[in-house]
Amino acid sequence: MEKSTHERALKLVMNKLGCSEEMSKLLDSSQREVIVEIPLKRDNGDIKVFKGYRVQHSDALGPFKGGLRFHPDVDLEHFVSLASVMTWKTSLVNIPFGGAKGGIDCDPNELSTHELETLTKRYVEKVGMLLGPNIDIPAPDMGTGEQEMAWILQAYAKNHGHHPGVVTGKNKQLGGVSGRREATGKGVAYFTRLACSRENIDLERARVIIQGFGNVGQSAAINLSKMGANIVGISDRKGAVYNEKGLDVKTIAEDLSVSKKISLEDLDIDGEYITNKELLEAPCDILIPAAIEGGINSKNAAKVQAKLVVEGANLPVTKDGEDILLDKKVKLIPDLLANAGGVTVSFFEWSQNAQRYPWKDEKVER
């Protein structure tokens, strides 16, 4: 994988602060990196062994905080970078959390609900001693959502009693807050609007491409289209759709919500079906990578046509990719800021759990 932009940013900041080499090393390394084996008996009786991870980067400013990712391609290196992103993100938006990240190397689309539940609970059996409402608080990330958080809560309660604040991103009945699911994408939309007004880009005439139509991508698309933007391209892991006249993203999201297993290619969308690679290079004013890491890199950055790139995903642009974009005078809103809406609302949820007192929805929204 190409180097991430964070390594450079961190070096710059450390130099500016006059950090010693040892201090820089300390800030750059995780406090704890854990790998566990999780054997799962599949529904057909076969045994499959998965790897589970939890990387705790820093708790200097509060309990470790960060999502759980279920994805077949994850490894330790992956989580080490993502955990440190959480430390800088929570610190940037000034919420009293540190940074962590974890997950399992599985493809949730290939597992039954029963298998997923067992796997998630086994994960808690293995790393539960590292978690806690004042120790380390997981949340949804790629491949996980309210259901996985509920399983974690239940598995954790077995040994520690009922502590709703041990995870965020729960459903409302379990102590979650309305709007948490949409928060990351909504934040992405707000920052895009702010960037447009600073850069004199007319959002109502802007053509927007969103790579990744999961939780973040969908909410960003729906909120930006409410703000008047024209969403011309979207994609998921199987492919992309482009229509210069604009896509009806709300209806597409509704159609997809019928089943987790459906993808864009299964729908009859009014537009041209293209590849993910082609989408990143297609005509647009704003590009929002809201999927995997390193999607914009040395190979394709020169072909990006957008004037503004908003990092909906974590680490979606590599260091070499960023150099090329900046050379082309493309404005970039970094992930630490652009997608911080999610963990910010996680903080509101966690605060309510600690107070044992739910806030009114308007308060969260405000």
- Binding mask 182-221 toward ligand GLU (x if CB under 6 A, else -) reads ----------------------------------------
Q: Write down the least CB distance from residue 254 to ligand GLU, Å.
A: 24
Q: Write down the least CB distance from residue 183 to ligand GLU, Å.
A: 8
Q: Write down the least CB distance from residue 314 to ligand GLU, Å.
A: 5
Work out whether 91 is an interface residue with ligand GLU (CB under 6 A): no
Query: Cα(235)–Cα(255) distance, rounded to whole angstroms?
Result: 15
Question: Judged by CB under 6 A, which stretch of 64-72, 185-193, 223-231, 325-333 contacts ligand GLU?
Answer: 64-72
Residue among 149 and 252 whose Cβ is closer to ligand GLU: 149
227: its two tokens: 């703000």
Residue among 124 and 206 whose Cβ is closer to ligand GLU: 124
Q: Write down the least CB distance from residue 158 to ligand GLU, Å.
A: 22
Among residues 223, 225, 230, 346, the one that binds ligand GLU under rule CB under 6 A: 346
Q: Write down the least CB distance from residue 343 to ligand GLU, Å.
A: 4
Answer whether 52's CB lies under 8 Å from 123's CB.
Answer: yes
- Cα atoms found within 13 Å of the Cα of residue 322, Cβ hemisphere only: 21
Classify strands 286-289 and 308-310 as parallel, antiparallel or unpaired: parallel
Number of residues lying near ligand GLU (CB under 6 A): 11
Residue among 186 and 307 whose Cβ is closer to ligand GLU: 186
- Tell me the residue number closest to ligand GLU, measured at CB: 67
Work out whether 314 is an interface residue with ligand GLU (CB under 6 A): yes
Work out whether 339 is an interface residue with ligand GLU (CB under 6 A): yes
Residue among 223 and 230 whose Cβ is closer to ligand GLU: 223
Work out whether 62 is an interface residue with ligand GLU (CB under 6 A): no
Work out whether 106 is an interface residue with ligand GLU (CB under 6 A): no
Work out whether 67 is an interface residue with ligand GLU (CB under 6 A): yes
Query: Cα(207)–Cα(2) distance, rounded to whole angstroms?
Result: 29
Catalytic residue IDs: 101
Residue among 285 and 293 whose Cβ is closer to ligand GLU: 293
Among residues 4, 81, 168, 225, the one that binds ligand GLU under rule CB under 6 A: 168
Among residues 74, 119, 139, 296, the one that binds ligand GLU under rule CB under 6 A: 139
Q: Write down the least CB distance from residue 65 to ligand GLU, Å.
A: 5
Question: Judged by CB under 6 A, which stretch of 24-32, 59-67, 154-162, 251-259 contacts ligand GLU?
Answer: 59-67
SS (H, E, C) the chain: CCCEHHHHHHHHHHHHHCCCHHHHHHHHCCCEEEEEEEEEECCCCCEEEEEEEEEEEECCCCCEEEEEEECCCCCHHHHHHHHHHHHHHHHHCCCCCCEEEEEECCCHHHCCHHHHHHHHHHHHHHHHHHCECCCEEEEECCCCCHHHHHHHHHHHHHHHCCCHHHCCCCCHHHCCCCCHHHHHHHHHHHHHHHHHHHCCCCHHHCEEEEECCCHHHHHHHHHHHHCCCEEEEEECCCCEEECCCCCCHHHHHHHHCCCCCCCHHHCCCCCEEECHHHHHCCCCCEEEECCCCCCECCCCHHHCCCCEEECCCCCCEEHHHHHHHHHCCCEEECHHHHCCHHHHHHHHHHHHHHHCCCCCHHHHHC
Residue among 115 and 141 whose Cβ is closer to ligand GLU: 141
Q: Using CB under 6 A, list all residues that contact ligand GLU.
A: 65-67, 139, 141, 168, 314, 339, 342-343, 346
